[in-house]
Structure 1
């Protein structure tokens, strides 16, 4: 746990008692601070009391003793409507920071690699961590990814923190200048929280704040917003700038072209690896992740052969196009994290032919936008509440389908058909395009159930493919 020595003896409040909030309270307590905690949820307050924390109602308490409130990034402090505690804090000139800001104030001698973007942050962050660890670097990986920053060990001078940064966290982190900053892409998201698209873009651009050479900006250029930011950074020339693309050559950067990962950072356009060598990084969206991770690790000083070797062993993230098993040439892929059509589109674009398991608790947009991928689907297997609604879409798009009801029935039916047809490249794909709550506690439990059902199947598995 991080030693917050500079808070010893000081009153500090923690607003929001989720995983990171509780970790912050623990780190502050261990560091000798006078810790006040608050959460709008009564059960969260009760749990904090049970742990021995001082619960103080920040909506009514006298805040004049405080100089800092450690703010949960998920709680609005500006748009669409600031929380009353945020208004009180600002009126009293009390700073609002997130836990990553406290990390930065403690670990001043360490290097920082920050990764942000609308999509792909978690995969890219985990991939960078995997490469750095394989190269023998002293690192800690987390942030928005799930490991609270203040539970990290101290990596000290020569060590690196690899941090997935949400737009919310970037707004509440002031002391970090990232040695390597990665911006993957920007599409409309969280607009209400940022007062519109301009506010969202401004928050994402904070990852490059105060960077000067030799610090490096790695930026995806496959969407118009990020391409404009790239042009803006080039015009200023403050830092080293390496663009990345999944769509083809980009001068002075790292990109995917003709099935290869190409490094042109020094103008050599060197083919460093075949993309097919990275089995956990399938699809165009993952090629961008691979290019960005390669560039970030190279900027951090990892030699190219070490980066490529580590990327070939990257296992991928659980529930994100995760290969569970290959049986008699048929791949079984867990994409349970795909809880909407946009996420499922990436999987449908990656595999062909597909035996598609879908359904659950549908989002408002349903399967809209997936029509172009219908020809890839040899058969669909419906589960959960959305079965009737999705059956209408499948019929309209001429996709044969079976109503299975439950996931275990769907796995068995899909496996039986896929193995009987034995089509080259066939994939049984769980990519539900739905939330899981009608049948499972969360998408993780749904993915685990899929893996369990697949691992019960009989057949000739490829060695090492069983999860």
Structure 2
């Protein structure tokens, strides 16, 4: 745990008592603060009380005595309307911050030279975060991984000499972190997402850019430049005097990393200084993972690792659950869990990675549906539609072979049987829903676990990875 000492003897309110909220309460209490915890869910309040935390109804609390207000990132700060607590904090003049802001303040106060890599982007940030942590750990470094990837940042070990925090940051978290100042800041890409929480795409991109703008003069900004928002972001960062490493999977770069055929090439001052390939690394399949690998290379290089050590560690990366996760094989048929693909942009990366696909898609649809994926339909042998999006997606698929399976268990059974009968050399049964999970599953993790369990129960399956 990271004790938050900067609010010693002060009173801090915390709203949102999930995993990160309870970790925040613990960290503040350990640092000597008085914590007033609250949640809209009475069960969460009861859980906090059972854990020994003081609770207080923030509707009736006198806010004028608070030193700060820590808000869970899942609660609206600005759009579509501010949460009621936001208005109360604003009226009382109380700063509204998040748990990553508490980490940044502690690091700045006690260990400002400690390594801090912060990763954002619409897609790829979890894989990049895990890959950087894996490379550092394999190279003998103390890597503390957390943030949006699932481990509350304040539950990690404190910043210190020889320790690097590798933190995935969502736009919601950045919005609550005005002091964010990573030694290496990464923005992979910006595509439409969470517009209900940020109003417009420009507003969403501006929040992402705050992470890059916080990189100090002696730090490194690593930016994927294959979209217009990130191109502009990189240019502004460079004009502001920051060291910028550009990444592109589409075009050459003069200083950064790009593709040359199947190779990733590190370019400095217009010249190639190192090249490597991730071909054959199943956990880094697809061009989107080439960008993730580029970002991880750039970050670890900035932290002082040698090119050879970076690439050697990269080759042993096991991948992440629910992100192009190879579950197993039955004969020639590969089963892949990409439940994290909750929008069309994420699913595009999966469809581009395979050539003969039995695709399981659907759930709670997002704006635009799967229309942007039409150019990949020729790769799809058949689609198995589940959930609320089934009828809409069926209309978009048109003459592309598909069936409304309804539920995930039906879809897995149908797809496995059809793929087994395929004469192609490498058929893939792919769960990549292009949808939120909330119509049939509480979250994408539970959806992915359900797929994994169904696949592992198939006769003749040879598991891959941790289930092997």
Scaled by the length of structure 2, the TM-score of the pair is 0.91
Kindly indicate whether the alpha-carbon contact (under 8 Å) linking 2:253 and 2:270 is maintained by their aligned counterparts in 1: no
1:48 maps to: 48
Write the distance in 2 (CA, Å) between the matches of 1:47 and 1:16.
12
1:301-380 paired onto structure 2 within 5 Å: 301-363=304-366, 365-380=368-383
Please point out which of 281, 284, 294 is paired with 2:297: 294
Kindly indicate whether the alpha-carbon contact (under 8 Å) linking 1:246 and 1:291 is maintained by their aligned counterparts in 2: no
1:180 maps to: 184
Write the distance in 2 (CA, Å) between the matches of 1:302 and 1:48.
42
Q: Deviations over 1:195-228 (max 9, x none)?
A: 5344333222211235344311111110011111
**SS of equivalent residue, structure 2 residue 74:** coil
2:424 maps to: 423
2:129 maps to: 125
Over 3 Å counting, the alpha-carbon distance change for 1:185 and 1:389 in structure 2 is closer
Over 3 Å counting, the alpha-carbon distance change for 1:448 and 1:132 in structure 2 is same
Over 3 Å counting, the alpha-carbon distance change for 1:340 and 1:219 in structure 2 is closer
Write the distance in 1 (CA, Å) between the matches of 2:442 and 2:174.
30
Alpha-carbon shift at residue 137 of structure 1 (Å): 0.9
Alpha-carbon shift at residue 464 of structure 1 (Å): 5.8
1:433 maps to: 434
Write the distance in 1 (CA, Å) between the matches of 2:261 and 2:149.
32
Write the distance in 1 (CA, Å) between the matches of 2:213 and 2:299.
17
Over 3 Å counting, the alpha-carbon distance change for 1:369 and 1:36 in structure 2 is same
**SS of equivalent residue, structure 1 residue 57:** coil
Alpha-carbon shift at residue 279 of structure 1 (Å): 1.6
1:2 maps to: 2
Over 3 Å counting, the alpha-carbon distance change for 1:169 and 1:411 in structure 2 is closer
**SS of equivalent residue, structure 2 residue 230:** helix
In structure 2, stretches of 5+ residues that fail to align are none
Q: Deviations over 1:173-201 (max 9, x none)?
A: 23442111111111233344335344333
Alpha-carbon shift at residue 436 of structure 1 (Å): 3.5
How many equivalent residue pairs?
A: 464
Q: Deviations over 1:255-310 (max 9, x none)?
A: 12311111113644145322313321222222211111111111111111111112
1:43-442 paired onto structure 2 within 5 Å: 43-107=43-107, 108-109=110-111, 110-236=114-240, 238-265=241-268, 267-363=270-366, 365-394=368-397, 396=398, 398-442=399-443
Alpha-carbon shift at residue 360 of structure 1 (Å): 3.8
Over 3 Å counting, the alpha-carbon distance change for 1:181 and 1:463 in structure 2 is closer
**SS of equivalent residue, structure 2 residue 284:** coil
In structure 1, stretches of 5+ residues that fail to align are none
Alpha-carbon shift at residue 384 of structure 1 (Å): 4.2
Over 3 Å counting, the alpha-carbon distance change for 1:445 and 1:172 in structure 2 is closer
Alpha-carbon shift at residue 372 of structure 1 (Å): 1.5
After superposition, the CA RMSD in angstroms is 2.5
Over 3 Å counting, the alpha-carbon distance change for 1:339 and 1:413 in structure 2 is same
**SS of equivalent residue, structure 2 residue 282:** coil
